Amino acid sequence: MRVPKPSPSLAVAVAALVVSLGGTSYAVAQIGSADIVDDSVRSIDVTDGTLRSRDIRDGGVRLADLSDGARQAGPVGPQGPQGPAGPAGAGRWLLINAAGEIEAQSGGFTIAAAYPTLPNTLPLPENNSLRASGNVYINAGEDLSNNGLVAVIALQNQLDQNADGVTNGRSPNPDSNPEFSGEISTTVCGVANVVVCAPPGTNETTHFVVSPRNSDGTVTMPGARKRFYVIVSGDSTN
């Protein structure tokens, strides 16, 4: 059977089709950003594992674009230079034991007189030698005119101060827990028209006096005296 030769019109039609298909392929390969509708490309349109570092513009990914799990801290850098020293002397403290001695302190304190017996200054038979015996006088080593003082009794549950066999503060009777109770006051010495400190050399603002008392206000006696803390607040650079 003889196959007839294609007619000239068929040849022209085939050639046109080839050119048309070739042009379409070229156009698809040249799609640019302007040809894509904003926000139309989704994750499903990108093949997994195909995007690489070179496909992302330098600096284009910000911290907010990363998940919490991907935001990991980097290695610790070298230590920087030491900063300037802070202000000195923002408060001091000390602990006085029952004998009127410094048991512990932040520094700079000395005892001037602890429960002292002073010379009698009254005509006999009057006697005022015990006028300061209930107090402890402390040299702070600085002018306390612009500082605050706070004193507090420290409990001592290993010493039975009233011989009642109770040292845990649970006695039901009034004023029967001296190991936990008491009164205490403190002030700077040498306050005009307010405070005069009796021991020689203490009536000046570099010293302060602490007065521990029993719960009824009476003076504490040897064997039943109070341990206490004192805090000096404010600037201690002067």
Cα separations in angstroms, 173 against 73, 169, 194? 63, 10, 36
Give domain status of residue 224, yes or no: yes
For 112, the enclosing helix (H) or strand (E) is: strand 110-114
The predicted model gives 142-157 an average pLDDT of 94
Bridge-partner residues for 229, per DSSP? 95, 152
Bridge-partner residues for 102, per DSSP? 96
CA distance 60 to 54: 11
Letter string b/e over residues 49-64, b meaning 16 or more CB atoms within 10 A of that residue's CB: eeeeeeeeeeeeeeee
The pLDDT assigned to 11 comes to 60
CB neighbour class for 22 (10 Å; exposed up to 12, middle 13-18, buried from 19): exposed
pLDDT tens-place string over residues 59-81: 777 777 777 666 777 788 898 88
In this prediction, residue 6 has a pLDDT band, given cuts at 50, 70 and 90, of low
pLDDT tens-place string over residues 201-211: 999 999 999 99
Structural domain of residue 159, as residue ranges? 91-238
Bridge-partner residues for 212, per DSSP? 184
Cut 0.75: pTM above it: no
Give domain status of residue 110, yes or no: yes
The pLDDT assigned to 231 comes to 97
Give domain status of residue 144, yes or no: yes
The predicted model gives 11-37 an average pLDDT of 61
Amino acid at 89: G
The pLDDT assigned to 76 comes to 85
In this prediction, residue 49 has a pLDDT band, given cuts at 50, 70 and 90, of confident
Amino acid at 183: E
Compute the mean pLDDT over every residue in the chain, rounded to the nearest whole number: 84
In this prediction, residue 91 has a pLDDT band, given cuts at 50, 70 and 90, of confident
pLDDT tens-place string over residues 12-21: 566 666 556 6
**Phi, psi dihedral angles at 211 (to 5 degrees):** -120, 90
How many domains does the structure of the chain reveal? 1
Strands 136-139 and 110-114 come out as antiparallel
With a cut of 60, say whether residue 89 has pLDDT above it: no
Give domain status of residue 116, yes or no: yes
